[in-house]
Amino acid sequence: MRDDETALRAAFEQHGAAVLYLAQRLLGDRADAEDVTQQTFVAAWTGRDGFDPERGTMLAWLLGIARRKAADRLRSVARHERVTETVRAQASPPAGPETPERVADRLLIADELSRLPAEQRRTLELAFFGDLTHHQIAAATGLPLGTVKSHIRRGMATLRRRWEVDGATPGS
């Protein structure tokens, strides 16, 4: 194990600058490139058994990992931008009177939503708070339409079960 740590340190000292350079060229942002460099060496550490010197050099292996990590980062940024633009394009909801019941309902719903898995919560928030259609959510998130529908259906079923058990349905 200690030999592995020494080898990782040596790999970072020898190839870290090249990995950082590639990541910065692909991403165009120094902070993102540093994150990708760190992720690359963490992935190399956890997947060290997958390195085969007969298939290529250490540098080539590390740069391959870095390219995949940079592509993941670019997809994540693009997905976030699509969601942000889709939500911004929506009209603001009409302002209504803020009654104590409405505030309590919103707090109850927000609490229950926070307990859902992240993808279900995100699709429900886009559907109900963002007033997006299933197709718009799929376009904004990059998720397949069937997955969006499944997330919404499962999320709604979970919320319904919780509210039925608690006897506290919003708006009642």
Q: How far apart are CA 125 and CA 172, in angstroms?
A: 21
| Cα–Cα dist 106/119, whole Å | 20
Q: For the domain bounded by 100-166, which CATH number is listed?
A: 1.10.10.10
- Looking at residue 42, its pLDDT comes to 92
Write the Ramachandran bin of 28: left for phi over 0, alpha for psi from -120 to 50, otherwise beta. Answer: left
Confidence of residue 33 (pLDDT cuts 50, 70, 90): very high
| Assigned CATH class of 2-89 | mainly alpha
Domain boundary assignment for the chain: 2-89, 100-166
Contact present, 44 and 11 (Cβ < 8 Å) = yes
Distances (CA, A) of 8 to 11, 14, 21, 86: 5, 10, 19, 43
Q: Residue range 109-136: average pLDDT?
A: 84
Task: With cut-offs at 50, 70 and 90, classify the pLDDT of residue 59.
Answer: very high
Read off the amino acid at residue 148: V
- Whether 105 contacts 170, CB under 8 Å: yes
Note the pLDDT tens digit of each residue in 65-104. Answer: 999 999 999 988 887 777 777 666 665 555 667 778 777 7
Q: What pLDDT, on the 0 to 100 scale, is given for residue 7?
A: 81
